[in-house]
Structure 1
Amino acid sequence: MTFPTIGMIGYGGIGRVHGMAYRSLTFHYGLPADAIRIVGVATTRAETAQAAAAELGCDFWTADYRELLARPEIEAVDICVPNHMHAEIVEAAAAAGKHIYCEKPLAMNVAEGKRMAAAVERAGVKTQMTFNFRFYPAVLRARQLMEEGFLGRIFSFRGRYYRSSYIDPNKPISWRQQKAIAGGGALFDIGSHILDLLYSLVGEFAAVQATLDTLIPERPAAPGSTERVAVDVDDIALLTLRTKEGVLGTVEASRMGTGLTNDIGFEIFGEKGALRFNGLDPAWLEVYDVRDSDKPTGGLRGFRKVEAVNRYAGQKAPDWSMTPDFVRTHAECQWQFLKAIAEGRPTQPTLADGLHIQAVMEAAERSSQEGRWVEIGEVLA
């Protein structure tokens, strides 16, 4: 099996995580050392591009992503730049005939996202979003159980993603807190992840009612600076959603979750059972089976922990019994993308899936501004 060669565009914190994940794939799946090849990297400055190339072990580096796209030996690009650059680079990469792996969220808004989706469809290239939390084995197991009908009719769902990354009012402003660069706040940054996770399990969303709030309205312009800069995106987002199948649920996303470093999880309640997942204990899926409680003795009534641990099909290392981590979910997301290209089959989640999440977030913003339920179709019209 021959995998596409990769060019990386952007190499900040998440770019380095992507690089780590690509490098690990040959060990996870017992491949030759040169089976997964990063052959070029582009950042916005020559010195950072050169340093990135040294880390990644590639010869080509540039401060102009267009030079990277012009190189015929690069077959797929991994886009790890701030949100406001996604549309421009995706459209250029599609025009250059490159397959596209793009960090979340897809775009700054739905209008951009629609242009991007149209561009890749015209070009006929394969795409995948970096919604890596889909690829915890416990989440894959939850999807399998749901497809087998374990829950029966779904009654409701609940999702959360809490971080405490901005609780300090003296923490300087970052690009993630500026609408002109990020497009949105906690909703875009971490809300996109939990929304996609639930979307992959319960299906498309049809409508949303939301409240978004900014809890610390201004921050220092730089470390130690007395100049204050306005924060014009949300710190917390509370959403009530209805799926196309009519199922109600809630989603909470906050970067002000004091005491919580990286708390993502969900619960799904059905007529025959329930499922819940806690990203802080990722080796396990919690399962409740109503059929146990129907037995005369009460059976094994209650939630039980089902081992999912590190069960990835075809994995050589680490041993299946080891707890999976954040980088491993990135590696699996990348692996499914590269393998789909090599095998000539569809990828998932695609930019079209990213556009659905973008529409949900834009509808949530509109709902918060106007104080009403907003149909997802409204923002896509």
Structure 2
Amino acid sequence: MNGVTGRMGYRQHLVRSVLAINAEGGVRLADGGRVLLRPVLVGRSETKLAALAAEHDIADHTTDLASALADPDNVIYFDAQVTQARVKSVLQAVEAGKHVYAEKPVAASVTEAVTLTRAVRRAGVKNGVVQDKLFLPGLLKLRRLIDGGFFGRILSVRGEFGYWVFEGDWQAAQRPSWNYRAEDGGGITLDMFPHWQYVLENLFGPIKSVYAHATTHIPQRVDELGAGYRATADDAAYGIFELEGGVVAQINSSWSVRVNRDELVEFQVDGTEGSAVAGLRGCRVQHRSATPKPVWNPDLPATVSFRDGWQEVPDNAEFDNGFKTQWEMFVRHVVEDAPFPHDFAAGTRGVQLAELALRSAAEGRRVTVEEL
């Protein structure tokens, strides 16, 4: 596990996935057997790795990736490093014959992502990319509505994601400073558009075109050491996507917006028979038969509480941590060849959408998404 000293690598992948899986007795296989995971922590800081290993009673840690890859007992390589460092390390793992699982974006450019995809195919190793949003309770409920035909013909999708990330001067920023430097692989388009690609593709259909506007609203920030720096990466991106079948999606992504939503991300789906608003955990619906009939009259106050006309979708199931669920899927993929559709090719399509969105923003035009 390379990159576990970072926020996501530690909290979601090590603690809430791998260690949680072991605490439950391992990954359950189709034949009833279980597989335990033996994490080997890899990173640049011996001090940080040793502290994590001691805190969680983990036997193995190293700053030498080559030695970890040379160990035949290490079967899977996982990468949660900063994006710029990922390609070189993943290629090392592939050359060592390891199955590879990586955070998104799988690379910083389509060219690099295609290189990785070709490399894993030539080597014949199992490969996967994290696509955690598909396993959020809110989106699982949305998937249930789609499969049940609740919406009729889906017309549009509107997404809002983001929150205010402090500039780092009078309050510390809650994201690392490299996110705001393009030269270090930062930018909200590269960070979030791969998410939107797999969410839209898996729930509503392939993306045919993108029109995007990316901007840097906060040009000056303060880093972790208290030094000011110029933000060279986009901190907000506004996208319009045309999907196969005529569905139109609009998604705003921003680290410079104050939240006036129930959750940090929400998707509203409108169809001929009904609508839904899904967030991280919740999902509310309004059927055609229960839709109010508002009339535009700015001279009078609204007489209807529109939010009261929506009904909460019940859980009807126990929802596990999405990262953990996908880890279990990937382990089954490696051990018993169970299906795992979220491979490097799927991850490459996410990088492609981010790259095309940035091109659209730079050229001020709609860009067609060609099949790779």
TM-score category of the 2 structures, normalised to the smaller one: 0.7 to 0.9
The aligned amino acid for 1:128 is: G
Residues 156 and 68 (structure 1), Cα distance of their counterparts in 2 relative to 1, 3 Å cut? same
Residues 49 and 268 (structure 1), Cα distance of their counterparts in 2 relative to 1, 3 Å cut? same
Q: CA deviation at 1:211?
A: 0.5
Q: CA deviation at 1:365?
A: 0.3
User: Gapped runs of 5+ residues in structure 1?
Assistant: 1-6, 295-300, 313-323
Query: Which string of whole-angstrom CA distances, capped at 9 and with x for unpartnered residues, describes residues 278-301 of structure 1?
Result: 22xx1x32223336669xxxxxx9
Matches within 5 A, 1:303-318: 303-308=310-315, 311-312=318-319
Q: CA deviation at 1:140?
A: 1.9
Q: CA deviation at 1:76?
A: 1.0
Residue matched to 1:272:
273
Provide the secondary structure at the position in 2 that maps to 1:101. strand
- Compare 73-82 and 119-128 and name the one that shifted more: 119-128
Provide the secondary structure at the position in 1 that maps to 2:164. coil
Residue matched to 1:89:
89
Note the aligned Cα RMSD (angstroms). Answer: 2.9
Residue matched to 1:355:
348
C-alpha distance in structure 2 between counterparts of 1:240 and 1:169, whole Å: 34
Matches within 5 A, 1:1-381: 7-17=1-11, 18-21=13-16, 22-27=18-23, 35-167=35-167, 174-182=177-185, 184-220=186-222, 223-225=225-227, 228-259=228-259, 263-279=264-280, 282=281, 284-290=282-288, 302-308=309-315, 311-312=318-319, 328-377=321-370, 380=372
The aligned amino acid for 2:187 is: G
C-alpha distance in structure 2 between counterparts of 1:208 and 1:234, whole Å: 17
Instruction: Please report the TM-score for the alignment, with normalisation by the length of structure 1.
Output: 0.82
The aligned amino acid for 1:19 is: L
Partners of 2:138 and 2:279 within 8 A in 1 = no
Residue matched to 1:3:
none
Partners of 2:197 and 2:349 within 8 A in 1 = no
Query: Which string of whole-angstrom CA distances, capped at 9 and with x for unpartnered residues, describes residues 215-240 of structure 1?
Result: 12222355443xx4221110100001
| Corresponding pairs, count | 347
C-alpha distance in structure 2 between counterparts of 1:112 and 1:371, whole Å: 25
User: Gapped runs of 5+ residues in structure 2?
Assistant: 29-33, 293-307
Residues 169 and 375 (structure 1), Cα distance of their counterparts in 2 relative to 1, 3 Å cut? farther
Partners of 1:150 and 1:272 within 8 A in 2 = yes
C-alpha distance in structure 2 between counterparts of 1:177 and 1:367, whole Å: 20
Partners of 1:9 and 1:77 within 8 A in 2 = no
Partners of 1:8 and 1:38 within 8 A in 2 = no
Residues 348 and 311 (structure 1), Cα distance of their counterparts in 2 relative to 1, 3 Å cut? farther
Residues 340 and 290 (structure 1), Cα distance of their counterparts in 2 relative to 1, 3 Å cut? farther
Q: CA deviation at 1:84?
A: 0.2
C-alpha distance in structure 1 between counterparts of 2:119 and 2:260, whole Å: 39
Partners of 2:163 and 2:257 within 8 A in 1 = yes
C-alpha distance in structure 1 between counterparts of 2:132 and 2:317, whole Å: 15
Query: Which string of whole-angstrom CA distances, capped at 9 and with x for unpartnered residues, describes residues 88-122 of structure 1?
Result: 12222222222222111121111111111111122
C-alpha distance in structure 1 between counterparts of 2:353 and 2:342, whole Å: 16
C-alpha distance in structure 2 between counterparts of 1:368 and 1:168, whole Å: 27
Instruction: Please report the TM-score for the alignment, with normalisation by the length of structure 2.
Output: 0.84
The aligned amino acid for 2:8 is: I
Provide the secondary structure at the position in 2 that maps to 1:206. strand
Residues 23 and 145 (structure 1), Cα distance of their counterparts in 2 relative to 1, 3 Å cut? same
C-alpha distance in structure 2 between counterparts of 1:30 and 1:98, whole Å: 20
The aligned amino acid for 2:98 is: K
